[in-house]
Amino acid sequence: DNFGGADVCDIWEAFAAFGLGTDAVSGGSGSTSPTNGFAIPLACQCDPAPIANAGPDVTICLGDSATVGTPAQPFNSYSWSPGGQTTAQITVSPAVTTTYTVTATTTCGSDSDSATVFVDDGSSPGLSEDFEG
């Protein structure tokens, strides 16, 4: 399978650079007509591909905030769920543990990633400074 190799786009771009046309159309198995040309596959035209990165999971105390996401990548547009924000990074202050999903979109497609913000409301049992013994 040569279509998944690292050099495939370089090969297609080389054919296109020599003016071999835009359509890989041949006359068929019994034809003597030449191939009209080569189209650069969409995967080769889409550079860079969309990259979604919600960042790592984080834990906050109830009432605090956290930033999820990473710096914006060129040519990406973003959408967050829940919330609907449209930036690469968002600041959130959930009252309960919440998973945030970002979708990055370009003309080449989309990619999604999620991060969970865990909320510690202080109700977990633990040691108290008032321990007497």
**114 and 69, same domain (yes or no):** yes
95 domain residue, yes or no = yes
Domain match, 39 and 82 both: no
Same domain, 62 and 116: yes
Residue 125 within any structural domain of the chain: no
The answer to the question of residue 126 being in a domain is: no
Tell me the sheet residues that pair with 98. Answer: 117
Is residue 10 pLDDT above 70, yes or no? no
**Is pLDDT above 70 for 53?**
yes
Q: How confident is the model at residue 124 (pLDDT cuts 50, 70, 90)?
A: low
- pLDDT at residue number 110: 93
Considering the domain architecture, whether residues 105 and 71 belong to the same structural domain is answered as yes
Tell me, what CATH number does 89's domain have? Answer: 2.60.40.10
Give the model's confidence band at 1: pLDDT under 50 very low, under 70 low, under 90 confident, else very high. Answer: very low
Report d(CA 107, CA 99) in Å as an integer.
27
The reply to whether 74 falls in a domain is yes
Does residue 52 form part of some domain?
Answer: no
In percent, the amount of the chain with pLDDT more than 70 equals 57
Range of weakest confidence among 72-86, 91-105, 118-132? 118-132
Same domain, 111 and 65: yes
Does residue 93 belong to any structural domain of this protein? Answer: yes
**70 lies in the same domain as 116:** yes
The whole-number pLDDT of residue 40 equals 62
Task: Tell me, yes or no, whether 39 and 66 share the same domain.
Answer: no
User: 34 and 62 share a domain?
Assistant: no
The answer to whether residue 79 is domain-embedded is yes
Average pLDDT, stretch 83-111? Answer: 95
Q: Residue 39: its pLDDT value, please?
A: 60
Residue 36 within any structural domain of the chain = yes
- Tell me how many domains the chain contains: 2
Residues 6+ away with beta carbon under 8 Å from 68: 54, 55, 58, 89, 90, 92, 100, 102, 115, 117
> What's the domain range around 116?
58-120
pLDDT greater than 50 at residue 126 = yes
Show the tokens assigned to 71.
């710096």
What is the pLDDT, as a whole number, of residue 109?
A: 87
Per residue in 64-91, pLDDT tens? 999 999 999 988 999 999 999 999 999 9
